[in-house]
Amino acid sequence: MAKQQRPNQKEALREKLENFSISHPDVKDIKILVAGQIGAGKSSFINSIDSALRGRISSRALVNSTAGDSHSFTKKLTGFTIKSEKTTLPFVFKDIMGLQPEAMAGSRPEDIINAVFGHVNDGYKFNEEQKLTSDDQRYTSDPSLSNQCFCLVYVIAADTIQFIDERLIDKLKIVREKISEKGIPQVLVMTKVDETCPLVKKDLRKIYISKRIKEKMDLCSATTGVPLTNIFPVKNYHDEIDTNDLTDVLMLKALERIIQIAHDKLKDTESH
């Protein structure tokens, strides 16, 4: 009986997202920045969201399949409009270069901060050795409300959280402190749950009763400062050729909460 209810839950979530509307007259779509450590599944998360809504495997955000590659495959800031089978949804996920521990490697904290605040336009190619400054002609000094991001999603792999380099944590703290000053909410998406817990690998429905997943969520919260209420464990699509209901429901639940959190921030902006 439980198996029959899952598709209904998925369809209800999908329908709710398809009917989502933005309350602000000057913003036609909500921008959400997706950042993360190299290899955590940042671009795969965007593709998995797309797949869950479209009902088929999507690969619009390019993913590096080279095992052990220490360089980010994403070089430019890229916005992805999210679509379902029926409609275009009013939010955009922005993919940014992956984070690395080294000072002169990967996206710099300043790049992430500038992207959140709307100072960087889509297509900007990141320079690992030099941050974008306000005197650069590619820097947008007075971004419109519609170009700003209303939520930062940080993607982290559950199987590597305990090994994260302190230098990477320091970079995250810089970002967190700066965007928190403007009240930008932060969400953490914890990927690779199936590679972390055998129970969940066998049955994804066990994700919220798994002690190991709970321990990983607690560790993520303690490490990054993101509250547990804003941490969502998911399984990205990786080598599948078809979507499945259990993975889709996890993805759509996470997406629903991310959209609600971002929209609440937009509404706060409207009231001030």
pLDDT given for residue 17 in this prediction: 94
Number of separate domains in the chain:
1
Q: Please identify which residue in the block is written with the tokens 């609440």.
A: 264
Residue-wise pLDDT for 161-210, tens only, equals 888 888 888 888 899 999 999 999 999 999 999 999 999 999 999 998 99
Does residue 219 surpass a pLDDT of 90?
Answer: yes
Residue 18 lies in a domain: no
CA distance 232 to 188: 6
CATH number for the domain including 154? 3.40.50.300
Q: Which domain holds residue 235?
A: 30-271
Question: What is the pLDDT averaged over residues 247-265?
Answer: 95
**Looking at residue 123, what is its pLDDT?**
76
Domain annotation covers residue 34: yes
pLDDT at residue 2 is higher than 60: no
In a domain, 3, yes or no: no
- From CA 145, how far away is CA 148, in angstroms rounded? 5
Tell me: pLDDT of 14 over 60.
yes
Whole-model pTM: value is 0.87
Of the segments 106-110, 140-144, 183-187, which one has the largest average pLDDT value?
183-187
- 86 or 135: whose pLDDT is higher? 86
CA dist., res. 267 & res. 261, Å (int): 10
d(CA 70, CA 99): 10
- Asked if the structure places residue 104 within a domain, the reply is yes
Q: Is residue 10 part of a domain?
A: no
Residue 21 within any structural domain of the chain: no
